Amino acid sequence: MTATFPTLFIDADACPVKAEIYKVAQRYGLKVWVVANAFIAVPPDPLIERVVVSDGFDAADNWIAEHVDADSIAITADIPLAARCIKAGALVLRSTGRPFTEASIGSALATRALMEDLRAMGNVTGGPAPFDKRDRSRFLSALDEMVVRLRRRGPTPKA
């Protein structure tokens, strides 16, 4: 089977929707890069490739950011990585099915910085809401929509 456009990149260490990504990728015959700091089991499929990076700070993020382009969809919850992928022209989707966009990434980065400061001062101790079935369903729908949108647009001419 030959991979078709677009290519999917998974920030895989804490991704709860890997099985859903594999299903969508199989349906469309898409190449998937599963990038993590440790070994992660992946289905035995020639279109799914595992990349184990060093355990260095942001090693997985750096690998993804260096490989995405306008023909890519990155799946991550990491806001700084999302910003780097958007800058490279990729579409970016959170595991909850909510996309990061050029219009939303600035406020997401600002909110992240604010929450980091509040946590450091001890004012905020909670984390994100638990992942649920609606998130999984929203993710599947959003990923499918992104794939279809990119396929309609067609591959970006390479320089």
What is the residue whose two structure tokens read 């980091």? 116
The whole-angstrom separation of Cα 152 and Cα 159 is 21
More confident residue, 28 or 116: 28
pLDDT at 1: 44
More confident residue, 157 or 95: 95
Strand partners, 8: 32, 73
Q: Does residue 94 sit in helix, strand or coil?
A: coil
What value does the mean pLDDT take over residues 115-129?
Answer: 65
More confident residue, 79 or 68: 68
Classify domain 4-153 by CATH number.
3.40.50
Any idea how long the chain is?
Answer: 159
- Assign 115 a pLDDT band (cuts: 50, 70, 90): low
DSSP annotation of 17 reads: T
What value does the mean pLDDT take over residues 142-147?
Answer: 96
Helices 102-120, 79-87: axis angle to 10 degrees equals: 150
